[in-house]
Structures are given as structure tokens and as C-alpha cells.
């Protein structure tokens, strides 16, 4: 998705907020009371937390937010490539969009008088010599990514950088879901619906303008027309379907298409408690896996990649357990203006203390059988392993990690129980997930329960990562 789509997205979201908050209040009721009541009623259950709402909406003093538009058709660890951003200020509950622009503009005009060394993978596979704001969300933890984004935003002299109160990340999946509620929008005789919106608009702003006899400077014309058409629909539909829109916001937080980080400690605590922060979940002695892909100049190919994540555990015979995590990539696309071979730098995050045994499927570069370099490190209390893989259009690729599970996980199994948190990557849609465990012990209970079980020592589950998943198994001696 081009940055132009994100400009449209920013304009729509910002204006929708204004419309919702201004027009939904009963006549004669103050803006402050309406906003506080609406937000508290639908999103805050703790009365103490509701006292934060006036602060967040700028009733105590103006609050300025950095909004990141995360392109999940070009996935990055922090939710998607940061194609554009906006700076939004709330004063007495009234939002004002101070700036919307492509991130490359900020990066290209930034001063060069500060040190900014990018991660090794960005240097090697994208030839990036200076770490810029648009590539700042390298951590799969939105809080850590936001801290880095703010750091580079300030160093690059972003607008109102010293006044930022928090960071909000959103993906284009949100606008597609909005259109599912409003219904198709017709502009210039062409229909835009939830299924074709991203691809159709992308084509129009990049290529379609020439077919209409428009010059390059007029290619944004469709954006304005589509914005007005969608806002006109929302003007009436928003209030008729208010519960649907409120439920949508909740669902988008849960599915990690909206994430937020606050510099205010009390507000950040609420975000963490509500699961809206996009942070990596605490391990707390249990098992944990998170697979994070980083699109390496593969255009918008993520939209045609099917992923299947499989995790197996087996006893090794030496009072240890071996974990195997496999990602199967199916590139259903072809060589087009928007899709190509899929190039990703993939990282697996597991509990600290896990010891790598082997990796298969790693590649030095495209279309080669020579293995690539395997890197490892510790981030946010997790061990990670990383490498590169490339999948040609119409082909399937697999990347497989084998490791000795951490001592804490081994101890847990020896104590006759096992719990696992599988966290989805921010911005991803619904990757398939399979668990296939043989602990060498009889299973007496499990959550979720396996309906069909032929072996009391095996635990097999087929599900997906639309949301984070948690599992618990109990054994007998």
C-alpha cells in the first residue's frame, strides 16, 4: 500500500473522530461530559481508570499523539512498514490534525548530525546505512518500537516532537473493516468494497490516473473523492450503527490492528491491563513463542502469503525436551507491480535459556541453496533466533528451528503441568497454528480440550492466530 492510501486513511480516521464526538452528544450536553461518558462507558470499567479519560482527551491540558500508519501488506515486526504518520492534538476534547505526511519525507529532510546505526538485517538485506524513522519499529513489542520511533522522530526534528504524549499504531485492516459496516462506496463509477479497497486504490493512485488522462500531479484526485464519499456515508451510518463501530474498535485492539503506548505511567498501566499496548506478554515461568517476520524489499507480497506455524515438543531421552518450530510460507502471488518473491528476515522468540540445536530453510540470498547466517540475541527477556529466507511466487518455503527448551519449561513439565502463550505478530491477520506435543506423560486435563484423542500422551491442537492463544496441560506421574 502506498503512502497515499495512508494519507486517505489518516484523513478519514481523524474526521470520523471529530464527527463521532461532536454529533453524537445530545443537544445541550457539554462536549466534555459526552466524551468522558462515552469513552468510560464503552472502554473503561474501573471507576478509578475513568478519571484518566479527561487527561487523555486534553481537558486538563492539550495532549499530542504520534499516529503511525502500519502497512501490514509489507509486514514488519512492529505491525507493518511505517508508510506515513500523523501528529494529532487534542484540546478540550477537540482533535486537530497538525500534520500528515509520508515517512520518507521526514527521513530525507532529517539532520545527519546524530548516530543512527540500523539493525544488522536492515543493513545487509536492504542496504540501509542509516536507521530512519520509517524503519524504527523493529521490535515486535509495540512499546519498545514506540520508544525507538519517538527517539528517531525527535532526532529528525518531527513536528511537536517534544510534546508527544503517546503513540498510536493502526493498520489498513481497520479501514477495510469500517467499509464492511458502511457497505461499498462508489466513486467515479467504480465500486470500492472491503475486499478490493486496498488493491484497487493502490492501482488508481499509482497507475490508473494515466488511463483517465490525468497528469501525475492529479493522481490524488480519487483520494479526495473517495474521502468525501466515505465520510458522507459515515455521517449518517455512524450513529445508526454506533454499537458496531464501538465493537469494531474493541476487536481491532484484540486482533492487534490498533496499538497504543503512553508516556504517562498511569495511562500506560491501563493500556497494559486492557491488552491494548501490543506488548510482549510476560513469560512468568511458562513457555512462549512469537514469530516475527520483516519484509525485506518484497513489495506488498505479504497480502498473498499464507502462513502455517507449527510447534512440537518431544522428550530427548536425557531429561530434556526438544522444541521444533516451523513456519510454512505459501507464496500464492506472481510477479506483478505489487507482488514478487517473498523475502523475509524471520525471528523466533522463545523463553530465555533455550539453546539452539539447528535451523533448516535458511538462505544466504534469493534462489540459493547456500545457508544464510543465523543470528541470535536476547530482547525483552526472550531468547531470539533470526535468519533470512526467500520464497518464489507459486512456491512453498519452510523455515524450521530446533532447540532445547529452557530450563524453566523443563522444570514445569517435570512438575506435571505445562502452559504456553503463543503471541501473534502485530498486524498479521490469521496465521494457521498447529501444536503437536508428546511430553512422555499421561495427560489428565487440558485447556483447550482436545475432542478426539487417540494417545493419552499426545496433545494436538489446530487453530489460528487471529488473536493471541494460551494453552494449559496437566499430567500424571
Q: pLDDT for 132-162, tens place per residue?
A: 999 999 999 999 999 999 999 999 999 999 9
pLDDT above 90: residue 450: no
Residues 319 and 435 reside in one and the same domain: yes
Tell me the C-alpha distance between 318 and 440, whole Å: 12
Do both 186 and 294 map to the same domain?
Answer: no
Residue 59 lies in a domain: yes
Q: Give the residue from 242, 274, 306 where a domain finishes.
A: 274
Q: List the single range of 101-105, 332-336, 434-438, 470-474 with lowest mean pLDDT.
A: 101-105
Nearest to 374 by CA among 334, 354, 404, 347: 347
Which band of pLDDT confidence, cut at 50, 70 and 90, is reported for residue 176?
confident
Instruction: Report the alpha-carbon distance of residue 14 to residue 234 in Å, rounded.
Output: 13
Percentage of the chain beyond pLDDT 70 is 82
Question: Is residue 15 assigned to a domain?
Answer: yes
Q: Is the dihedral of CA 243, 244, 245, 247 positive or negative?
A: positive
- For residue 457, the model assigns a pLDDT of 87
Mean pLDDT of 351-359: 97
Does the pLDDT at position 46 exceed 80? no
Identify whether 468 is part of a domain: yes
Q: Can you state the angle between helices 221-240 and 3-23, rounded to 10 degrees?
A: 30
Spatial distance between the Cα atoms of 277 and 265, rounded to a whole number of angstroms: 13
- CB neighbours (10 Å) of residue 20? 18
Q: Same domain for 411 and 469?
A: yes
- Span 208-265, pLDDT tens digits: 655 665 554 444 455 557 666 776 777 677 767 878 887 888 899 999 999 999 999 9
The CATH number that applies at residue 395 is 2.60.40
Half-sphere exposure of 16 (CA within 13 A, CB side): 24
**Residue 281 falls inside a structural domain:** no
293 and 266 part of one domain: no
Provide the pLDDT for residue 456: 84
Task: Determine the Cα–Cα distance for residues 383 and 409; give it in Å rounded to an integer.
Answer: 13
Give the rounded percent of residues in the chain with a pLDDT score beyond 90: 58
Note whether 294 and 256 are same-domain residues. Answer: no
Q: Which three cell numbers stand for residue 63?
A: 495532549
What whole-number distance in Å separates Cα of residue 18 and Cα of residue 93? Answer: 9
Assign 49 a pLDDT band (cuts: 50, 70, 90).
low
Task: State which of 274, 299, 323 marks the end of a domain.
Answer: 274
Residues 17, 145 within the same domain: yes
Strand, coil or helix: 119 = coil
The mean pLDDT of 440-446, rounded to a whole number, is 92
pTM, to two decimals = 0.88
In this structure, the answer to whether residues 71 and 214 fall within a common structural domain is yes
Give the number of domains in the chain.
2
Contacts of residue 474, defined as CB under 8 A and 6 or more positions apart, other chains included, come to 416, 417, 418, 443, 444, 445, 446
Decide if 366 contacts 343 (C-beta within 8 A). yes
pLDDT digits (tens, 9 = 90+) for 294-351: 999 999 999 999 999 999 999 997 789 999 999 999 999 999 988 999 999 999 999 9
CB 248 within 8 A of CB 177: yes
Tell me the sheet residues that pair with 163: none
Regarding whether 319 and 440 lie in a shared domain, the answer is: yes
φ and ψ at 52, to 5 degrees?
A: -80, -20
Looking at the structure, do residues 241 and 323 belong to the same domain, yes or no?
A: no
In a domain, 70, yes or no: yes
Domain of residue 64, residue span = 3-274
354 and 235 in a common domain: no
| 214, 297: one domain | no
Alpha-carbon distance of 120 to 125, in angstroms, equals 9
25 shares its domain with 159: yes
Identify whether 335 is part of a domain: yes
Taking alpha carbons only, the member of 347, 451, 462 closest to residue 399 is 347
In-domain check, residue 279? no
Is residue 280 in a domain? Answer: no
Burial pattern 129-143, b for ≥16 Cβ within 10 A else e, equals eebbbbbbbbbbbbb
Buried residues in 199-223 as b, exposed as e (16+ CB within 10 A): ebbbebbeebbeeeeeeeeebbbbb
Q: Where a domain ends, among 251, 274, 297?
A: 274
Which pLDDT score, from 0 to 100, does residue 397 have?
A: 98
Amino acid at each position: 500500500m502506498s503512502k497515499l492510501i495512508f494519507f486517505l486513511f489518516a484523513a478519514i480516521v481523524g474526521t470520523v473522530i471529530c464527527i463521532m464526538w461532536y454529533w453524537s452528544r445530545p443537544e445541550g450536553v457539554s462536549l466534555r461530559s459526552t466524551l468522558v461518558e462515552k469513552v468510560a462507558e464503552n472502554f473503561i470499567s474501573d471507576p478509578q481508570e475513568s478519571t484518566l479519560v479527561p487527561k487523555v482527551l486534553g481537558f486538563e491540558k492539550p495532549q499530542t499523539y504520534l499516529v503511525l500508519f502500519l502497512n501490514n501488506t509489507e509486514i514488519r515486526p512492529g505491525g507493518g512498514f511505517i508508510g506515513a504518520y500523523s501528529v494529532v492534538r487534542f484540546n478540550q476534547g477537540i482533535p486537530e490534525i497538525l500534520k500528515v505526511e509520508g515517512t520518507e519525507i521526514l527521513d530525507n529532510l532529517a539532520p545527519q548530525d546524530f548516530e543512527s546505526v540500523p539493525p544488522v538485517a536492515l543493513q545487509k538485506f536492504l542496504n540501509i546505512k542509516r536507521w530512519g524513522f520509517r524503519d524504527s519499529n523493529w521490535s515486535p513489542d509495540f512499546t519498545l518500537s514506540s520508544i525507538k520511533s519517538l527517539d528517531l522522530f525527535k532526532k529528525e526534528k518531527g513536528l511537536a516532537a517534544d510534546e508527544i504524549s503517546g503513540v498510536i499504531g493502526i493498520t489498513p485492516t481497520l479501514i477495510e473493516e469500517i467499509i464492511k459496516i458502511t457497505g461499498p462506496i462508489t466513486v467515479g463509477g467504480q465500486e470500492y468494497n472491503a475486499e478490493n479497497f486496498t488493491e484497487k486504490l493502490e492501482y488508481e493512485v499509482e497507475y490508473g490516473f494515466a488511463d483517465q488522462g490525468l497528469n501525475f500531479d492529479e493522481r490524488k484526485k480519487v483520494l479526495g473523492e473517495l474521502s468525501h464519499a466515505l465520510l458522507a456515508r459515515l455521517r449518517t451510518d455512524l450513529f445508526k450503527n454506533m454499537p458496531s463501530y464501538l465493537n469494531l474498535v474493541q476487536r481491532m485492539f484484540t486482533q492487534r490492528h490498533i496499538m497504543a503506548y503512553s508516556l504517562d505511567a498511569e495511562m500506560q498501566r491501563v493500556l497494559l491491563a486492557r491488552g491494548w499496548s501490543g506488548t510482549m506478554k510476560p513469560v512468568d515461568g511458562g513457555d512462549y513463542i512469537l514469530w516475527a517476520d520483516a519484509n525485506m524489499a518484497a513489495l506488498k507480497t505479504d497480502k498473498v502469503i499464507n502462513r502455517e506455524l507449527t510447534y512440537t515438543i518431544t522428550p530427548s531421552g536425557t531429561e530434556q525436551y526438544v522444541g521444533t518450530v516451523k513456519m510454512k510460507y505459501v507464496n500464492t502471488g506472481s510477479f506483478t507491480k505489487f507482488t514478487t518473491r517473498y523475502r523475509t528476515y524471520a525471528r523466533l522468540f522463545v523463553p530465555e535459556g533455550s539453546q539452539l540445536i539447528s535451523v533448516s530453510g535458511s538462505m544466504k540470498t534469493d534462489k540459493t541453496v547456500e545457508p544464510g547466517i543465523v543470528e541470535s540475541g536476547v530482547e525483552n527477556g526472550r531468547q531470539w533466533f533470526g535468519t533470512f529466507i526467500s520464497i518464489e511466487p507459486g512456491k512453498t518455503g519452510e523455515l524450521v528451528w530446533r532447540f532445547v527448551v529452557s530450563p524453566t519449561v523443563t522444570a514445569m513439565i517435570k512438575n506435571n503441568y505445562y502452559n504456553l502463550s503463543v503471541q501473534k505478530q502485530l498486524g498479521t491477520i490469521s496465521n494457521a497454528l498447529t501444536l503437536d506435543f508428546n511430553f512422555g506423560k499421561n495427560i489428565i486435563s487440558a485447556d483447550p480440550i482436545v475432542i478426539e484423542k487417540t494417545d493419552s500422551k499426545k496433545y494436538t491442537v489446530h487453530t489460528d492466530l487471529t488473536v493471541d492463544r494460551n494453552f494449559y496441560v496437566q499430567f500424571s506421574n
